[in-house]
Amino acid sequence: MQNINGIDNKLVAGIDIGSENIYCAIGSLIPENSRIKLLGIGKCSVKESFKNGSITNRNQLIEQLETAVNEAEIMAGKKINSAYMSLTGDHVRGINTQGAVALNRNNTNGAIENNSITQKDINHVLELTQGIALPPDKDILHTIPQEFIVDTLEQIDNPIGLSGRRLEGHVHLVTAATTAMKNLVESAEEVGIKINGLVFKPLAAAASTLTKDETKLGVSLIDIGSTTTGVAIYNNGAIRHSAVIPIGSASITNDIAVMLRISIEEAEKIKINYASAKASLSSSKLDIEIPSDNICNSTNKISEHELSTYVEARMEEIFQLAQNEINRSGINNSLTYGAVLTGGGSQLRNIVPLAKELLKMPIRLGKPTVNIQGNKDFADRPIDSTLLGLLLWPYHSNEYKTLDSTIISWIEYFKQIIKEFF
């Protein structure tokens, strides 16, 4: 591979599948400063083939995935054979749990040996935290350490080398539907892409938008997608709560389409060009012409302000549901940095003032600026946060013990059995 800035770099790719589009990004790792050199991005519409985090038309999705990958490869001038892929949907759940092990190790003579904690001990604790009862159709996607406790010493990030008699680990589990994960992995394999790991969308978005100070002192990431809104709440450097709300910006588009009796495509254009999340900041004097379907081909009109009142009502619903999740986390009073808005739905005009008013906390718009180098002109919007976060995921895989390899390994095992018997 070519050197960039005189440094040997490793190629990495991310695939973000939403209910509207598939995005593929290719970059190169720069390990010296844990950054990414962005090389290329591809895009393809996925309407009618993917919805709410699940595949609805597999053959069509495979074709669209191949289109997005090819476009990214052409821009980057590189071929890829593996990638990290995003995952979301109302089947995803976040759970806090814990596990503990005794560290009293005896030698053959019965004497107590050195109780210094090793990686093996940590792995044992993390395995125990996964022993919760799950529905038969669910599997663990991520096991994310929050903190460790050694005897009475609390809030330890890395206990390796410390001595004690008892090691306890607090973790955040992210679970998802087994079939949804399996179908995504197999669809990618159909176009020659091995999935290195599935990543919950808000976690990927957080990787590219949140600062260390924000995750340390408390922040809520609200990822407003097309059909879902993901919430990830951080404090003391770790995720404390995650959830998926089954509503997104597509609901606004549908409301406009029904209200004005126009197509979804026309409603989307009007939303992007004229809608304001906060109606009081829109104009009552600016009229929007709406083409009519009658034989006279006349036009109807609606003011920007009237349009925005309907938009604001839907956004109020989304933020209220997000507020419910923030309250459910139990640390709503510890979010020093308030909330960061990201995702395509966060690009709605005047959304920050509305969020400040409703959530009553500091609000900023999250863009993928953390540790990204290169030409970002084509990837500097909130909608790109997840995609760019996937490129950064290799740097976070050391911090997060991800179990997306579980489903991937299962698929490989199944394939091996087929080869042996057939």
Q: What local confidence, expressed as pLDDT, does residue 69 receive?
A: 97
Q: Which residues contact 198 (CB under 8 A, 6 or more apart)?
A: 84, 85, 86, 87, 141, 176, 181, 184, 185, 404, 407, 408
Mean pLDDT of 43-48: 87
Mean pLDDT of 347-360: 97
Rg (CA), the chain: 23
Q: How confident is the model at residue 295 (pLDDT cuts 50, 70, 90)?
A: very low
Q: Please provide the size of the chain in residues.
A: 422
Spatial strand order in the sheet of 35-45: 194-200, 82-87, 10-17, 21-30, 35-45, 372-374
Answer with the residue of higher pLDDT: 238 or 285: 238
Single pTM value for the model:
0.89
Q: What local confidence, expressed as pLDDT, does residue 413 receive?
A: 41
Percent of the chain with pLDDT over 70: 86
**Topology annotation, domain 93-178:** Dna Ligase; domain 1 (3.30.1490)
How many secondary structure helices (H) and strands (E) does the chain include? 11, 20
Asked which of 46-50, 155-159, 215-219, 303-307 is least confident by mean pLDDT, the reply is 46-50
Query: What does the domain layout of the chain look like in residue ranges?
Result: 93-178, 211-368
Answer with the residue of higher pLDDT: 103 or 195: 195
**Residue 351 has what DSSP assignment?**
H
d(CA 170, CA 147): 5
Strand partners, 241: 233
**Residue 112 has what DSSP assignment?**
B
Tell which residue, 235, 321, 236, 311, has the closest CA to residue 274.
311
Q: What local confidence, expressed as pLDDT, does residue 115 receive?
A: 73
Q: Which residues contact 185 (CB under 8 A, 6 or more apart)?
A: 85, 195, 198, 407, 408, 411
Q: What local confidence, expressed as pLDDT, does residue 376 receive?
A: 58
> pLDDT digits over 59-68, tens only?
999 999 999 9
Q: What local confidence, expressed as pLDDT, does residue 406 receive?
A: 46
CATH 3.20.20.70: does it fit domain 211-368? no
Mean pLDDT of 98-106: 83
